[in-house]
Chain A
């Protein structure tokens, strides 16, 4: 038996409990499908994961790295979970946003999904969250694939649940499943090559063995396949095709959850692969980063922004803008300096807050309008639903990067890091794309606040149940815009952990 009782058990097994608590509560929800109970259980599950992540962050701030051997097998024979500063920061962001999205989900899902499907939806919600947390926490290359697939399958289910409101969600879910499966299989091929040449799957062990090898065709092939596979899941430019439809037609709570945490986990894994796993073959990583990641992320930024400018449906617009923001994060990783990687982590946090908040607010609008939110149905909605619309506007201004908001801080650090590398062209492109994003933001704000409410429009009722999560996110946007000291310090520690070479 354990001294300290349940609390002691909780504190000693934090890395695994972040993942296991949501995952193990999911089958319970498959049986108990009453919606209110399911929601309470989901909040409890994701909330305990959030608590564990906060405790892990405080531990890594003091001792730097926590490892956990599953089954008490010594690595490299057993699977281990490794949490260092980068991992714990990502986990805190992901679990925090998942917690807020779960709090928000009750009202939103009630409006958009059939009553009988709600229990199953929460089960898939917990599976997706647990799978994504595991993706970040694991220290074994094949275990990463398993969590990748757990999260992909459950996310496909969540996305297709939007079929009740719009049948295009089914096609979006199918495409997400197909493209995601191809990407995950590419990753597995890469792991196969790397395993063949090194003989181990444990990431810490791989680091030393790859450094010893220093090169070789199998290693290069494995690197290529793994990076290509993860880029599909992270929605970097040419393979982002699944993202707009998936986030656009999913239920709004699901869009909020996935936009906040799903691609962030894959981007974290991309950074892990580039900077830790393959740190021993710097010639190929530099090639990949200079000729692939940076150009593709710049292309993604512009393609996302331009598609958003021409898009009239609000959720599709936000999804296209997500592609652009993912481009900024990938650009930060691509520049591979300590400052740019730290800026990427800052933007991982801020974009999760921004997009999470925006999709939550859109969900509130959709529930009140009972139709898809597009520029035409948004006319004058600022006056008809003031509280939700103000939260939407705060997050929108943060998206555009206005000073005093979180988005400004991330753009500031990113541009500073780019200028420190003397990449003036890239800095100019980033500023240009920021200016372009003001176009679509202004379109929405103008329609929301400045156009008169049409004469025959019905009265819209706001749902007070969503005020708390939406306003926590909106205020967090302002907080991190005014005082980003903790975030910047944690991101710098994360960049140091990633680039320092140790896992």
Chain B
């Protein structure tokens, strides 16, 4: 059993990173920590694809002139390039939103933001009562 687990050690690392990332996204109140967790989660997926592409005994998937070389699968590498760029864009957009949230709410802790939002909601209902003025 231990030998079988040791044989798939790369997938165990993928699962470990995935769970760490998801845990951070769900449990942390700080918005930047949530984004970091998302980043770790996405990195684990990149590792997953690339370890999938490894062919045992294969070399890097760069064309050489030697005939009969066994290459690892290049397609996962290409897929992950795209996914990395998507991850960068998501992180950048998330950080930009966090900057605006900090500027507008004054905090980046989710519980404090929730409290501020509930206050705004209560204010809305008070303000809009048409007979409330005067």
**Residues in A lying within 8 Å of B, measured CB to CB:** 142, 145-146, 149, 153, 156-157, 160, 163, 166-168, 170-171, 173-174, 177-178, 181-182, 185, 188-189, 192, 195-196, 201, 312-313, 371-372, 374, 376-377, 379, 454, 456-457
Contacts and interface: CB of A to CB of B under 8 A. Distances in A.
A134 B76 CA distance: 22
A91 to B, nearest CB: 24
A457 B128 CA distance: 11
Given A171-B117, A456-B134, A188 B45 contact: yes
A249 to B, nearest CB: 10
B14 to A, nearest CB: 9
Contacts of A457: 130
Interface residues of B, number: 42
A224 to B, nearest CB: 14
Interface in B96-134: 97-98, 100-101, 104-105, 113, 117, 120-121, 124-125, 127-131, 133-134
Q: Which of B25, B45, B52, B93 has the most CB of A within 10 A?
A: B93
A113 to B, nearest CB: 14
Contacts of A312: 125
B45 A377 contact: no
Interface in B49-67: 49, 52
13 contacts: A149-B89, A156-B93, A157-B93, A171-B101, A173-B97, A178-B35, A181-B38, A188-B83, A189-B48, A192-B52, A195-B52, A312-B125, A371-B128
A374 B125 contact: yes
Interface string B68-112: 000000011001001100100110011001101100110000000
A244 to B, nearest CB: 12
Given A149-B86, A153-B89, A374-B125, A177 B45 contact: no
A458 B34 CA distance: 45
Given A174-B94, A372-B124, A163 B86 contact: no
Nearest to A173: B97
Contacts of A182: 22, 25, 38, 41
A307 to B, nearest CB: 14
Contacts of A374: 124-125, 128
B116 to A, nearest CB: 9
B38 A178 contact: yes
Task: Name the 5 nearest CB pairs between A and B, nearest first.
Answer: A376-B128, A454-B130, A167-B104, A377-B128, A174-B97
B66 to A, nearest CB: 24
B42 A170 contact: no
A205 to B, nearest CB: 14
Given A177-B97, A178-B34, 10 more contacts: A146-B86, A156-B97, A166-B120, A170-B100, A170-B101, A177-B90, A181-B90, A195-B52, A374-B125, A377-B128
Nearest to A148: B86
A182 B34 CA distance: 11
Nearest to A184: B86
B104 A177 contact: no
Contacts of B22: 182
B97 A142 contact: no
Contacts of A146: 82, 86
A456 B129 CA distance: 12
Contacts of B130: 376-377, 379, 454, 456-457
Nearest to B38: A181
Contacts of B86: 146, 149
A182 to B, nearest CB: 6
Nearest to A188: B45
Nearest to B113: A171
B17 interface: no
Contacts of A372: 124, 128
Contacts of B25: 178, 182
B45 A192 contact: yes
Contacts of B48: 189, 192
B18 to A, nearest CB: 8
Nearest to A316: B121
A174 B82 CA distance: 22
A145 B85 CA distance: 13
Contact of A170 (B52, B82, B97): B97
Given A146-B86, A188-B45, A192-B48, A454 B131 contact: yes
A278 to B, nearest CB: 20
Contact of B94 (A166, A167, A177): A177
A362 to B, nearest CB: 14
A157 B90 CA distance: 11
A5 B98 CA distance: 49
Given A142-B79, A153-B90, A174-B31, A185 B125 contact: no
A374 B18 CA distance: 42
B93 A163 contact: no
A150 to B, nearest CB: 9
Contact of B97 (A160, A181, A195, A201): A160
Contact of A149 (B35, B90, B128): B90
Nearest to B121: A313
A163 B100 CA distance: 9
A173 B95 CA distance: 12
B133 A153 contact: no
A163 B104 contact: yes
Contacts of B79: 142
